[in-house]
Amino acid sequence: MTSSAHARHDHAVAIDAGTRFTRIARLGADGVPELVPLPGSVPGEGLPVPAGARPGAALRAAYEAYRAGGGTPDRIVLVVREQDRAQQAARAVDALASAHGTGRAPRIRVLGTPHAVLALLRHAGEATAERYAVCELGASAVEVSVCVPAGGSVAVAGTARHAPAEGYGAAFDRELLAAAGLPDDEAELRALAAVRAQGGSAARLDVALRRADSHQGRYRETVVHRVDGRPITAATVHDALGRLTAGLDHALDRARGGAPAGQAVAVGGAARFGPLTRYLAERQGPLVALPGGTDPALAAVSGAALVAAGRVDPGDRYPYAVCVATHRVFAGTPRTEELVISEAGALEPGGATVFAESGGHRVRVAAGPAPAGPARPVRVRVRDAEGGHTAAVGTLTVPGGAEGDRFHIGVRIAVDGTAHLVLHPLGSAAPGEFPLGTLPTDLKGVRP
């Protein structure tokens, strides 16, 4: 690799601002994603988030620490959770932008966790299933996103989040430490993590939990961990685990919405905990293995680093074509036709409006009969790339135009996933936008 290539490489980074750690990753010289070591960071974890830190403050502090040693990157891929993506993205982008003032700022792309994880799998050539349930098992919450790859895109067909007030993985760790009479400070959390990582610890814990589950009363007092010399019993782990599995069940059932969830992918810090991932595997079947033994806590930021470096397309685009019914007169006979506004895979959340084109030129349409006719209904549908499955989005009412008025018709998708139909006048008037809501994301099983 040349020095100039490595410089470009260093200036494409991914950032995942979690509850406990802020992680910044880039591709190493071998092309493998790696965490960037920052002053005060924990190896394999990232930079700890200070207790009581304001939203965005920890992200900005980590980013400024990166810039102090690595300079301002050209590109950032920012990982946010899927369910409230727009709100998370706005806060995070503002935090990063505020660090630059009037100076040069990088290009920022926002990517939801499921697209970042699927990017990691797609780069390794391992995203071959028809659908996936990306289960993010984090410190504050569990979020499940059902993903449907379609062509070069990945549609998120359903997302659900379970975020108890006391936390998810963090509450589990606190309960174990409290049972051992230990505080839940950073030192004890690291000690607990180190004990779990010891050779044979996972196997011993699994055996103890199975015995405690099948023999009520017996084996429950078996010591499964010792943290700073304090015992943690199978009963403590078993009871605390029940809260994790109940929260996972809740999110998984809501995300599915009655449809199949597909192969499960477990990511996030709590996905390191074997009993929880084994429970998920018992429910969903064998879990998708992360490529190269990727740490599940680093899966999202690793996938985002590959996207930032241009090694993989995240497929974060709407996978289906958006169409409207139009009317033409042939030989004096009115005829209804379908006009494709955007082809499958053309729309990107937060991206530019895509306009209907023919022969490389935007199609001109009239919004209503002349002169200044009444409002006209416009039927909107979506269809897959093969045209075998379609679904109705709804019928909009757009104002009629004066005789000779013509528009370009387009559609855009906001960062939060909601779509708008756009009518752009050929004159100087401002474009009109009409809300479409959230477009269908899973057409399989829908009758043409």
Summarize pLDDT for 177-194 with one digit per residue, the tens. 998 899 888 888 888 888
- Distance of alpha carbon 384 from its chain centroid, rounded? 22
Q: How many residues does the chain have?
A: 448
> Quick one: 3 and 63 in the same domain?
yes
> Quick one: 77 and 179 in the same domain?
no
- Give the DSSP letter of residue 444: T
pLDDT for 442 equals: 75
CATH number at residue 24: 3.30.420.40
Q: Does residue 1 have a pLDDT over 70?
A: no
> Quick one: 167 and 109 in the same domain?
no
pLDDT for 169 equals: 92
Orientation angle between helical segments 169-179 and 186-197, nearest 10 degrees: 90
> Quick one: 272 and 167 in the same domain?
yes
Phi, psi of 66 (to 5 degrees): -65, -45
Q: Does residue 8 have a pLDDT over 70?
A: no
Mean pLDDT of 282-304: 95
> Quick one: 396 and 256 in the same domain?
no
pLDDT greater at residue 430 or residue 165: 165
- Give the DSSP letter of residue 152: T
How far apart CA 192 and CA 172 sit, in angstroms, is 11
Encoded amino acid at 323, one letter: C
> Quick one: 384 and 302 in the same domain?
no
> Quick one: 80 and 158 in the same domain?
no
Report the 10 Å Cβ neighbour count for 48. Answer: 18
pLDDT single digits (tens) 309-324 = 999 999 988 888 999 9
How far apart CA 122 and CA 115 sit, in angstroms, is 10
Question: Strands across the sheet with 321-330, in order?
Answer: 333-342, 321-330, 376-383, 390-398
